Amino acid sequence: MNTAFITGITGQDGAYLAKFLLEKNYRVIGMIRRSASSDVIGERLRWLGVLDHVELVDGNLTDLSSLIRLLGQYKPDEVYNFAAQSFVATSWQQPLVTGTVTGMGAANMLEALRIAHPVGRFYQASSSEMFGKIQAAAQSETTPFYPRSPYAAAKLYAHWMTVNYRESFGLYASSGILFNHESPLRGIEFVTRRITDGVARIKLGLADHLTLGNLGARRDWGHARDYVKAMWLMLQQDVPDDYVIATGHDATVQEFCNLAFGHVGLDASAYIRVDSARLRPAEVDVLRGDPAKANNALHWHAETPLPALVAEMVEADLVRHGRAR
């Protein structure tokens, strides 16, 4: 039985990956921060029906000693680093925390692996936000980076540290440069869940409008359930490398709204309000990935079309709010 160690296991990607690996008969160890809200911290794992099948252990990316202890204790075959301050808007309000956790936290994990368990295979969750002010119409592994937020800059540091530990110390360390990936488990602070949650509330009579920011921003949206398979495939290769994971298609926030409202038979234009306070200090207008390398080397392709993803998210939020009534 292979053992996987997942930081950020209670987040969207961590939960879907845990389910995927359990189905492959892995032992799954999940690192979580000590929290007074531990009774609700595993809700995503519970939603997927796997909470009772993973082992949750205390640790923190900012505490190197805890990482060395845990990796030395469990000696995992694979380490997946998702833990981060991952909301772009918050990174402008908490840039130092974002840099410490999202950037230095990844370096701590790499250093712990080098010291305590250098034969483990490491996956770093890089982000399409690193491309920022795009230098190519479709972004690939060779497109120059131009981060436009503290979050993106922190992710870029973590990404290049992964490359450096691979090239300097011979660690098996790969990065997945993932474009936007959503699901019913997406945090409510992200625009996609804000949209589907708002649509469900309006449909059920719990709200009369939805407030958003930049409706013209274009993103390459896929399903997190599809993307965790790509992460696993990266660590099954003979040689570690970096891969863009994306659908290769983009849509505007407005188009996402149209799909969500249309799914419940409503006209988006009747309910959307725009608030300039929700705009980013430095906007990223367009992100669209070129997944050719992953398609060819990993034999991976995004499987869930955007309308199906949006419908699944809306239905999940209708269930959530329907139960709460």
Domain housing 173: 3-181+221-245
Which are the contacts of 9, defined by CB distance < 8 A and separation ≥ 6? 15, 17, 18, 28, 30, 31, 32, 45, 54, 56, 82
How large is the average pLDDT for residues 175-197?
A: 95
Total number of domains constituting the chain: 2
- Encode pLDDT of 187-207 as tens digits: 998 999 999 999 999 999 999
Which pLDDT belongs to residue 316?
96
Q: What is the CATH number of the domain that holds 193?
A: 3.90.25.10
Assess whether pLDDT exceeds 60 at residue 272: yes
Asked if residue 297 is part of any domain, the answer here is no
Give the chain's count of helices (H) and strands (E): 12, 13
Asked if residue 100 is part of any domain, the answer here is yes
Which are the contacts of 77, defined by CB distance < 8 A and separation ≥ 6? 2, 3, 4, 120, 121
Is 151 catalytic? The answer is: yes
200 and 144 co-located in one domain? no
Is 129 catalytic? The answer is: yes
Asked if residue 166 is part of any domain, the answer here is yes
Which pLDDT belongs to residue 101?
94
Place of tokens 């972004």: 139
Does pTM surpass 0.75?
Answer: yes
Asked if residue 165 is part of any domain, the answer here is yes
Share of the chain above pLDDT 90, in %: 88
How large is the average pLDDT for residues 217-221?
A: 95
- Compute the distance between CA of residue 64 and CA of residue 56 in angstroms, rounded to an integer: 18
156 and 203 co-located in one domain? no
Which residue would you say has higher pLDDT here, 189 or 291? 291
Catalytic residue among 66, 127, 175, 183: 127
Q: DSSP 3-state assignment of 319?
A: helix
- Compute the distance between CA of residue 71 and CA of residue 74 in angstroms, rounded to an integer: 5
231 and 120 co-located in one domain? yes
Using CA atoms, how far residue 198 sits from 34, 79, 256, 267, 315, in Å, is: 31, 36, 13, 13, 12
Is 172 catalytic? The answer is: no
Asked if residue 296 is part of any domain, the answer here is no
202 and 319 co-located in one domain? yes
Which pLDDT belongs to residue 325?
56
Using CA atoms, how far residue 138 sits from 118, 207, 284, 288, 307, in Å, is: 35, 38, 14, 5, 22
- Compute the distance between CA of residue 258 and CA of residue 272 in angstroms, rounded to an integer: 10
Which residue would you say has higher pLDDT here, 92 or 55? 55
Catalytic residue among 86, 91, 128, 129: 129
36 and 174 co-located in one domain? yes
Contact 309, 221 (CB under 8 A): yes
Which are the contacts of 150, defined by CB distance < 8 A and separation ≥ 6? 91, 92, 95, 98, 99
Assess whether pLDDT exceeds 70 at residue 37: no
Token pair, residue 306, equals 């955007």
Q: What is the CATH number of the domain that holds 120?
A: 3.40.50.720
Catalytic residue among 16, 26, 123, 151: 151
Q: Report the greatest alpha carbon distance in the chain.
A: 58
201 and 53 co-located in one domain? no
- Encode pLDDT of 107-149 as tens digits: 999 999 999 999 999 999 999 999 999 999 999 999 999 999 9
- Band of pLDDT at residue 324, cut at 50, 70 and 90: low
Asked if residue 23 is part of any domain, the answer here is yes
113 and 156 co-located in one domain? yes
